[in-house]
Chain A
């Protein structure tokens, strides 16, 4: 079983739609959580951290449920430029600098 599990998609949504991705992690020692974005054939880039209380950054909202060990990302008012693969990422207690990446969920926003 992979340590970080994501639905690979693709999620095909029209512009303006709201889309949500979930991710589950298996290591209860996971301490910090992030969403990265990776465009096709490009390097990953940090999109946002995920805090226990939930956090928002513009059209993006991230939530963490430690009891159920899952993380979510909600994108409102999808733009064509949101098309990318969204990577769920965790780090563990004592290894704060080492990240474990999920396979990613591919999003395709269409006209």
Chain B
């Protein structure tokens, strides 16, 4: 089993609140990713990091921001949540271990903004 964790698993929050979704992995992976997935839809990459102090925006524009101060930690922050941010957010990591193309996913955070 992959050792990648996300908290909270479920979050219901009001419009305008600041939120941080936590993601941690204990596999020493250098690469980490955040995806957004709506029900029945494909995963969209919103942020990725190839190492400490390296972050890039993904293919889907997002109002969220990320930081990578430690290898194992890749939090995602929304400064002011809106109903359009309601979605599932999946964190993943990959490294030299594991099969080529393998990204290990956390269980996800289901965010609902009211």
In the complex, A66 has a CB within 8 A of chain B: no
For the complex formed, measure the closest distance between the CB of A95 and the CB atoms of chain B, giving whole angstroms. Answer: 10
- Write out, one digit per residue, whether chain A residues 74-111 have a CB within 8 A of any chain B CB (1) or not (0): 00000000000001010100000111111110000000
In the complex, A1 has a CB within 8 A of chain B: no
Chain B residues within 8 Å of A42, by CB: 107
Is A43 within 8 A of B105, CB to CB?
Answer: yes
For the complex formed, measure the closest distance between the CB of B76 and the CB atoms of chain A, giving whole angstroms. Answer: 16
- Name the one of B42, B48, B50, B108 contacting A104, with C-beta atoms under 8 angstroms: B42
- Write out, one digit per residue, whether chain A residues 1-37 have a CB within 8 A of any chain B CB (1) or not (0): 0101000100000000000000000000000101000
- Interface size range of chain A in the complex: 20 to 34
- Name the residue of chain B whose CB is nearest to the CB of A85: B40
Known contacts: A4-B42, A43-B90, A44-B43. The answer to whether A100 contacts B101 by CB under 8 A is no
Is B100 within 8 A of A32, CB to CB?
Answer: yes
Is A46 within 8 A of B103, CB to CB?
Answer: yes
In the complex, B94 has a CB within 8 A of chain A: yes
In the complex, A72 has a CB within 8 A of chain B: no
For the complex formed, measure the closest distance between the CB of B5 and the CB atoms of chain A, giving whole angstroms. Answer: 12
Is A99 within 8 A of B101, CB to CB?
Answer: yes
Known contacts: A32-B100, A100-B59. The answer to whether A44 contacts B42 by CB under 8 A is no
Chain A residues within 8 Å of B103, by CB: 46, 99
In the complex, A49 has a CB within 8 A of chain B: yes
- Name the one of B59, B101, B106 contacting A89, with C-beta atoms under 8 angstroms: B101
Chain B residues within 8 Å of A46, by CB: 99, 101-103
Cα distance A49–B103 when bound, in Å?
A: 12
Greatest chain B CB density within 10 A among A4, A43, A98 is at: A43
Chain A residues within 8 Å of B58, by CB: 98
For the complex formed, measure the closest distance between the CB of A97 and the CB atoms of chain B, giving whole angstroms. Answer: 5
Interface residues of A, Cβ cutoff 8 Å to B: 2, 4, 8, 32, 34, 42-46, 49, 87, 89, 91, 97-104
Kindly list the 6 A-B residue pairs having the minimum CB-CB distance in the complex, ordered from nearest.
A43-B105, A101-B43, A103-B42, A46-B102, A34-B101, A101-B42
